[in-house]
A = this chain, B = another copy of it.
């Protein structure tokens, strides 16, 4: 796998998902990439923290904002193993994320392509998105293939 390719970054997100899995959390992982480098990584911690916003990509965006000292992540990309829910897709609009890449689809709460196409609507910020990246790996949990 070529370093810094999209597949490479998604594989790093998968490593985060494995950490969630090891903690009996729903196994979702995410990384935030800026200028070709991972600036934040996180995994789902919803039950551990009893917090609605402890989804992987939400935590990763928060960490990235802290790292650069601003909530504006205009040139940052998010890689997340599962299609984001409305809260997380909405958080990406708020954070002005540039590109979103996700792995598996979520027919139950997916807000990018499955239940609703949230990011296709005329909000104040437009995000380019692409699903299905390393989909087989992202869909095959537990992670014996990592």
Residues of A within 8 A of B (CB): 46, 50-53, 58, 61-62, 65, 69-71, 85-91, 93-95, 108-109, 111, 115-116, 118, 121-124
Contact = CB atoms under 8 A, between A and B. Distances in A.
Nearest to A97: B52
A69 B50 contact: yes
A122 B86 CA distance: 12
Nearest to A70: B50
Q: Quickly give the copy total for this chain.
A: 2
12 contacts: A51-B62, A52-B71, A52-B95, A53-B58, A53-B62, A86-B89, A86-B90, A86-B118, A87-B94, A89-B90, A108-B124, A115-B123
A91 to B, nearest CB: 5
A123 B111 CA distance: 9
Contacts of A123: 86, 108-109, 115
A53 B91 contact: yes
Given A52-B71, A53-B58, A53-B62, 9 more contacts: A50-B65, A50-B70, A51-B71, A85-B94, A86-B86, A86-B87, A87-B90, A87-B94, A109-B124
